[in-house]
Structure 1
Amino acid sequence: MPRRLWLAGAVVAVLALVVGGVVWLRRGEQSSFAWAVAHAPAGTQRASWTDWAAVRRHEGAGLSSRSSAADLHHFLSRSFDDDLSSTSALVQSAPTLQQRFGFSPADADWELFSQSDQGAVVMVHLPAAVLDAVPGRLRALGYQEPSDPGGVWSGGSDLVARISPDLTPELSYLAIDTQDSVILASDTSAFLTVALDAVGGRGARVSGLGAVVADAGEPLSSAVYSGDYACAALAMAHAGASDQAAARRLLAAAGEVNPYSAFAMSDEPDGSVRVALEFDGSETARTNADTRAVLARGPAPGQGGTFGERFTVDSVTAHGSLVVMRLAPRRGAYVLSDLSTGPVLFATC
């Protein structure tokens, strides 16, 4: 499965999370997705969400911490083929996590991978019974236990490499937040402490992503970008000269395109892909809704072919300062992962 396992690094919430028939509510009516993103560290430029419980339901996978490596691999292969796991940072590490750490996509509720210029952190929500068993596993693996139960378990890159070459470096340092039932992991102890402080309310949290995250509702997976990050990651400058020229012609014909302050693209439970772009006001949003509705039905320079080969457009509408696109993927199309690499449709600056 190497083709798109870490396209979350390139890709470009839930009123209730149902886990085993139990509805898990997060502080009032805030969704798990919204809660997770809102508790990411300040400076987060992209946030990659995977609702593992929902993905397991979608795939009909009755997994647990006792499931075999073969069953886990089968589930991950299916979710990959359905473009539902490209946002995860843990897929390649999953078999080792299952066997050695005592948690994995087989029993995790959800995962959020947050990245910024300062560092990256994976936050995974686990059922309480699963989380309770993790400290013993970490001790057995050789992680250095913190004096404070809520502190950082220190492993480092050498320990991670000894455990398994398949483990992501993000598992070098871990921390357990029993109050929120999450485990956090990062490749540096310093940034993990920053993330812990953000979750616990002792440190600054991300801002500016709330509107596009709220619009997504309860996605199975989602890629969220800040405007500044999208400006670089989704720029047509990454394409060849002929594609850039084609993009300029398309933009000139379609109309005005403005920068946006936040972006979210989400795989929804009904099978659609929902895109939200936040602009500086309702007038700009209306202008961009018209322009991007035209672009969404045309060629896809920088990627090849047309957008119509990837999806049909159900609607492109302006809601206040948001432009919301509802797309219906064609069979076999990887809309979430493929459309995150800089197509003209999402040109921002």
Structure 2
Amino acid sequence: MSMSRRHLLVIGAVVLLLVAGGVVWFVTSRDDEDGPGRLARAVGMAPEASARIGWIDWSGIREELDADLSAASPTEDVEEFLSDGFDADVISPSALVSSAPTLQTDFGFSPATVDWELFAQSEEGAIVIVGLPDSLDLDRVEDQLEELGYQKPSLDDDVWIGGPDLLATIGGVSQELAFITIDRDRRVLAGSDQSATLETWRDDQRGTGLDDGIAEVADAEEGALAASIYAADYACVALSMTQASDADRTRGAELVAQAGDIHPYRAYAIAALPGGDVRVAMSFETEDQARTNADTRSQLAAGPAPGQGGAFPDLFALGEVTADGTVVVLPLDPQPSTYVMSDMATGPVLFATC
């Protein structure tokens, strides 16, 4: 399947721009022994109501793929890098890929140069946040926005007005870039297709102190090159066996009954790791539930895969499943020429059943 076709299937068209170099400790630090990890800090910037979060460590992916890129790189090199990232199955959660050529030439940054990217979606709206290296000149970013036709706000932290008509003249970018705001204190730029989302964003961020399922699975996926993180309500729709055929749903129900006790999770995450491995994390209400589901869900993940086709061992080798507190972790070693990260982030996925 071609990169563009598969990416549309996995992501859909939601692109958003956030420029963030972040204070140096936020953007450049990969390990922080004294506080939340890099992924957890980024998740903390998502709106509190977020039900779906996509994380991309662009700097880590460039390192993983040995890609030597800069703001001056031609779009052909950027597209080759993204093609390699697609083949490695590490870019499916991104909201920037389809806009990468225009970002590289017109906005001055793209997946070739950004440090990280976070896409967050809720019933109230969507936002994409992208961290940029400290070397990026934010004044130059604002100059480029003005050159493109965005209306500069009177205050630094207000919203830059673009709108769908402006985006049509620019071409090659998503509606999620229609409105932009820049947080200069943290060197973060956020974009959305709704100005109201950006107007409330600073007051509605999750923060890093929440004790919920999303925070738990984000912590379990620390160090990931890419991750899809879902709250329970979203995961139960996105990964549901109701998307399977009648025969597959019947077979799935039989396998779940045979596996034993299955409890609903609080959040689900799947992540692509350096070196090619994939890791699934699920958060449960209690430690007892986690221990039980470590057994039952590992049984499901080692058997037939109704809805996906064939059996899960055709897609990955299952490592030792563990329960750490209320979080269950399933290590997956993808088989050659499979797309486990992107496939297990879309339904139906039997072992992610609610």
Query: How far did residue 84 of structure 1 move?
Result: 0.7
Q: Secondary structure at the match of 2:5?
A: coil
Per-residue CA distance 1:294-332 (angstroms, 9 max, x = gap): 111111111111111110011111111111101101111
| Alpha-carbon distance between aligned partners in 2 of 1:29 and 1:131, rounded to the nearest angstrom | 28
Residue identity in the other structure for 2:78: L
Give the 3 Å change call, closer, same or farther, for CA 304–234 of structure 1 in structure 2. Answer: same
Counterpart residue number, 2:321: 316
How many percent identity over aligned positions?
43
1:43 aligns with 2:41: no
Residue identity in the other structure for 1:246: R
Query: How far did residue 177 of structure 1 move?
Result: 1.4
Contact 1:26 1:35 in 2 (8 A): no
1:300 aligns with 2:305: yes
Per-residue CA distance 1:211-270 (angstroms, 9 max, x = gap): 111111210000000011112211111111011011011111111211000111111123
Give the 3 Å change call, closer, same or farther, for CA 206–175 of structure 1 in structure 2. Answer: farther
1:172 aligns with 2:178: yes
Q: Secondary structure at the match of 2:292?
A: helix
| Alpha-carbon distance between aligned partners in 2 of 1:181 and 1:27, rounded to the nearest angstrom | 23
Q: Which of residues 81, 90, 112 in structure 1 aligns to 2:87?
A: 81
> Which range moves more in the overlay, 188-197 or 36-45?
188-197
Contact 2:47 2:206 in 1 (8 A): no
Give the 3 Å change call, closer, same or farther, for CA 342–79 of structure 1 in structure 2. Answer: same
TM-score (norm 1): 0.91
Give the 3 Å change call, closer, same or farther, for CA 320–86 of structure 1 in structure 2. Answer: same
Q: Secondary structure at the match of 2:321?
A: strand
Counterpart residue number, 1:215: 220
Contact 2:48 2:205 in 1 (8 A): no
Query: How far did residue 271 of structure 1 move?
Result: 2.0
Q: Which of residues 141, 146, 149 in structure 2 aligns to 1:134?
A: 141
Contact 2:44 2:206 in 1 (8 A): no
**Number of residue pairs matched by the alignment:** 338
Spell out the pairing of 1:43-192 with structure 2 (5 A cutoff). 43-132=49-138, 133-164=140-171, 166-192=172-198
TM-score (norm 2): 0.90
Q: Secondary structure at the match of 1:115?
A: strand
| Alpha-carbon distance between aligned partners in 1 of 2:307 and 2:50, rounded to the nearest angstrom | 27
Q: Which of residues 265, 268, 271 in structure 2 aligns to 1:263?
A: 268
Contact 1:226 1:261 in 2 (8 A): yes
Residue identity in the other structure for 1:232: V
User: Which runs of no fewer than 5 residues in structure 1 stay unpaired?
Assistant: 11-15
Task: Name the Cα RMSD after superposition.
Answer: 2.3
Q: Secondary structure at the match of 1:40?
A: coil
Q: Secondary structure at the match of 1:269?
A: coil
| Alpha-carbon distance between aligned partners in 2 of 1:68 and 1:263, rounded to the nearest angstrom | 38
Q: Secondary structure at the match of 2:342?
A: helix
